[in-house]
Chain A
Amino acid sequence: EAGVTQFPSHSVIEKGQTVTLRCDPISGHDNLYWYRRVMGKEIKFLLHFVKESKQDESGMPNNRFLAERTGGTYSTLKVQPAELEDSGVYFCASSQDWDRTRQYFGPGTRLTVT
Chain B
Amino acid sequence: GQQLNQSPQSMFIQEGEDVSMNCTSSSIFNTWLWYKQDPGEGPVLLIALYKAGELTSNGRLTAQFGITRKDSFLNISASIPSDVGIYFCAGPHGSSNTGKLIFGQGTTLQVKP
Query: Do A59 and B100 contact each other (CB < 8 Å), given the known contacts A42-B105, A101-B31, A101-B33?
Result: yes
For residue B90, which residue of chain A has the nearest CB?
A43
Known A31-B99, A45-B102, A56-B99: A102·B42 in contact at CB below 8 Å: no
Tell yes or no: B66 within 8 A of A by CB: no
Cβ of A103 within 8 Å of any chain B Cβ, yes or no, is yes
CB closest chain-B residue, reference A6: B42
A42 touching B92 in the complex, CB below 8 Å, given contacts A56-B99, A56-B100: no
Q: Is A69 an interface residue (CB 8 A)?
A: no
B104 neighbours in A (Cβ, 8 Å): 42
Return chain B residues, CB-CB under 8 Å to A105: 35, 42-44
Count of chain A residues near B, Cβ 8 A: 29
**B interface majority secondary structure:** loop
Q: Which residues of A contact B92 (CB under 8 A)?
A: 100-101
B97 x A100 contact (CB < 8 A): yes
> Does chain B have a CB within 8 A of A74?
no
User: Does any Cβ of A come within 8 Å of B40's Cβ?
Assistant: yes
Residues from 85 to 100 in B contacting A, C-beta threshold 8 Å: 88, 90, 92-93, 96-100
B88 close to A43 (CB less than 8 A): yes
Q: Are B98 and A100 in contact (CB under 8 A)?
A: yes
Interface centre among A48, A93, A103 (most CB of B within 10 A): A103
Least CB distance from A29 to B in Å reads 11
- A44 interface hit (Cβ, 8 Å): yes
Of B90, B99, B101, most A-chain CB atoms within 10 Å: B99
* Cβ–Cβ < 8 Å partners of B102 in chain A: 45
Known: A43-B43, A103-B45, A103-B99. 14 other contacts (CB 8 A): A33-B99, A33-B100, A35-B103, A42-B104, A42-B106, A43-B88, A43-B101, A50-B99, A56-B100, A91-B43, A95-B99, A100-B92, A107-B40, A108-B41
Residues of A within 8 A of B (CB): 4, 31, 33, 35, 40-45, 48, 50, 55-56, 58-59, 91, 93, 95, 99-108
